[in-house]
A and B are shown apart, each in its own frame.
Chain A
Amino acid sequence: MITSLRIMMRSQKVIVLCSIILSFLFIITILAPWIAPNDPIAVNLANKLQPSSFEYPLGTDHLGRCTLSRILYGARISLGFATLIFISSLGIGLIIGTIAGYKGGWVDQVLMRLCDGVMAFPNLLLILGLVGILGPGLKQVIIALMLVQWVYYARIFRGMVLSLKEQNYIAAAKISGSSQWKIIKKHIVPNVLPPLAVMGTLEMGWAIMDISAMSFLGLGVQPPTPEWGAMIHEGKTYIRTNPELMLYPGLMIMLVVVTFNLLGEALSERFGVKRR
């Protein structure tokens, strides 16, 4: 009793701290055009690889572009599109999972075999393959990520729906003549929503990692758009003379991903959502 209380207190603190960090990041993301000190894509070769200065707080990259500005704008891509991927794959997963779980029968069979098919491949490989077919570019990476991510949501929602379906209040709703859609809408969806916060925060971290990974490989964001993974890739050439070019975007990815993960862990403890 006391330990669980302590865990609750601790997770509460983590939740607050992580939320503050993330809200701060989201705010600077939105405000990037106003707070960035320089144009993130303005090339100025005379100023290349400059150390930190008043004009360029984090120095400049190999084309003389302001690193801080690029990181701030890069946050828009990473956080913005990770949110987009999260929401859209969650939407698809929620719909398909709920239908499969509730309907059962051949609908369930078809949808779940489809999920099995997607899950049979390692995630990254599948994304790489899809981007290979669709061609490099941010849009393609986002489509590929959505196509791959929804299966996990579908799976978990199907499982939840299956267990909820046996509950008495569902049976009661059925007996009292509610339509199938009404039952799904009124009784099932609200019940599967709480674990969402947990899954969402964890998923966000992975989406950011995946976008960055694709950009690092040159398949995602195309130059000159600043993006953290792409910045690490560009900085790679200068790791000997200017390691900070890789370090700054790398730290940003780490900060965001770790924060999302800690938040996810804390939320699951807080809400008692079982993840293992």
Chain B
Amino acid sequence: MVMSKRRNSKKVLFISAIVLILSTLLLGCTNESKENSTSNKDNKDMLTLAWPRDIGEMNPHVYNPSQLFATSMIYEPLVSYQDGGKLKPHLAESWEISKDGKEYTFNLRQDVKFSDGTSFNAEIVKKNFDTILKNVDLHSWLGFITKVDQTEVIDQNTFKLTLKEPYYPTIQELAVVRPVRFLGDAGFPKDGDTSKGVTKPVGTGPWILEEYKADEYAIFKRNENYWGELPKVKKIKVKVIPDAETRVLAFEKGDLDLIYGEGAISLDAFKQLETTGNYETSISDPVATRQLVMNTKKEQLSDLRVRQALQYGFNKKAMVDGVTSGLEEKADFILPTNFPYTSDIDVTAIDYNVEKAKALLDEAGWKLPKGKNVREKDGKPLEIELMYDSAESIQKAMAETLQSEWAALGVKLNIVGVELTVQIERFKANDFELNFFSNYGAPYDPHTFVNVVGSEGFGFNEAISSYPNRDELLKQIADVPGTTDEKERQELYSTILESLQDQGAIVPISYIKKIAVYQKDVSDFTFPANRDEHPFTGISIEK
């Protein structure tokens, strides 16, 4: 009896499994077409896009899993980062920096209101700063946070920030999406500590979160009382579609107006959509460098020769071109050269050279025993683990390529796909051997990347522990933000970035670019200069 039940249910399971496998691929379209046809009538001016993850908690003062683009729709900064690294007034009309570089006085814009009608003033700015400063540890990756001495309300529209020591990137860092954006009074929890959650997402931004269903969708409506240029579309719907192929199918069917982002769809799908000519596509400038980080604390990677051998041992250009279909560019430097202070870097180029890689490994004592295909030293095989984000097809494909290429050197690479959160945690805990990383991009770099390398508990500081010049390097990293002389600053940055790269723990792989595909009725799509900012300013749609 029990057995027969199992047989029947198994049979049902078998059939439904097949049906499921086939239908998941189409799910995106079938489900959503119904939804859309009804909602389209009501919301003619609604732009629908897909996002791989839930937007998360709309709290400007916390991190993962909140999605940056969504946070930036609701909350605004004092200054904004524009093309070429220019910093323009935003919620602050103007600012003055004292001669010693410690005092920053902001004249706030007077016509700004939060979406609940309360006004934006120096009081609320101070309140936000103070709650952020309660959790310095959480935010210490952002350099100026640890330097803040006090926050003051001078008058209704004047706010003063005093630092303990001069820190040149302060203004640039105020443009970031989190944590220094401003939550309205109604959003604060009773104890005032936003790190545990906000009661209501109240911001000054052009968009208001209207409807939200976890892991399904979020609808933003435009803030009719927005102080700046009113958005052209009335609503933006963000659908959560975790699978990239499903996103493409939904887009082709017309259920989505826009897909954009880094790795939002596979590059092959992007190429294919581009060639049909039925859609608009665009590619951004490099936004960051895809890096491979070697943990020099691990025995087998503590030898510079091994690290160099691994770099010599793979054909970077072929890998980048092959895996990304040429949409990413092979990177020669650990930071893209279009950021400030990053264009003048002099490093030893490492070109593909298998023979040299083998020679270096031999020299380092890792010999290939007869009849085996993995090198050994003192009886231990040369085995390395590479961790990658299992949701990222590019990382996976690159991991498999490296595995195959390094196998030819006699290096056994074990690749492990993990969830993004696990990847970040393990990196921070120094529980990795090789890991993929990418720098932060505008408006954070180069100083944030360098600061993270120097700070403990973020992964890099521990990962470079076998560098012979580590102490000197850490001192230079600590010194650079306090420099007031432009030339001295440039020299320090050059030295830091050069030795980081020459010591081989951080390997530049490729320059990451954003992609966008959108329907022909969508116009004025532009990539924001700030990597994390939403791209909806000025976007319009005609249905």
Q: Which residue numbers of A lie inside 8 Å of B, CB to CB?
A: 41-43, 45-46, 48-49, 62-64, 119, 123-124, 136, 152, 155-156, 159, 202, 206, 209, 213, 216, 218, 222-224, 232, 236-241, 257, 275-276
Contact = CB atoms under 8 A, between A and B. Distances in A.
Given A41-B404, A45-B323, A237 B245 contact: yes
B191 to A, nearest CB: 35
Given A119-B2, A223-B403, 20 more contacts: A41-B407, A42-B404, A43-B400, A43-B403, A45-B321, A45-B322, A46-B322, A49-B268, A62-B268, A136-B417, A155-B3, A159-B3, A202-B7, A206-B14, A209-B17, A224-B404, A237-B244, A238-B268, A240-B245, A240-B248
Contact of B396 (A41, A223, A232): A223
A222 B417 CA distance: 8
Interface size grouping (class) on chain B: 35 or more
Grouping DSSP codes into helix (H, G, I), strand (E, B) and loop, the B interface class, with mixed when no group exceeds half, is helix
A240 B390 CA distance: 21
Given A222-B415, A240-B245, A45 B318 contact: yes
Residue picked from A48, A63, A232, most chain B C-beta under 10 Å:
A63
A275 B7 contact: yes
Nearest to B11: A261
Contact of A45 (B25, B248, B319): B319
A63 B400 contact: yes
Given A275-B4, A275-B7, A218 B417 contact: yes
Contact of B415 (A202, A206, A223, A237): A223
A209 B396 CA distance: 24
B6 A152 contact: yes
A218 B381 CA distance: 27
B304 to A, nearest CB: 27
B414 to A, nearest CB: 8
A239 B268 CA distance: 10
Contacts of A240: 245, 248, 268-269, 272
B462 to A, nearest CB: 24
Nearest to A43: B404
Contacts of B13: 123-124
Contacts of A62: 268, 397
Identify the 8 closest CB pairs spanning chains A and B, nearest first: A45-B322, A43-B404, A237-B266, A276-B4, A43-B401, A156-B3, A45-B318, A237-B393
B360 interface: no
B10 interface: yes
A213 B17 contact: yes
B129 to A, nearest CB: 42
Residue picked from A41, A119, A236, A257, most chain B C-beta under 10 Å:
A236
Contacts of B272: 240-241
Contacts of A123: 13
18 contacts: A45-B319, A62-B397, A63-B401, A156-B3, A213-B17, A216-B21, A222-B415, A222-B416, A223-B399, A223-B400, A223-B403, A237-B266, A237-B269, A237-B393, A238-B266, A240-B245, A241-B268, A275-B4
Nearest to A237: B266
B255 interface: no
Contacts of A237: 244-245, 266, 268-269, 393
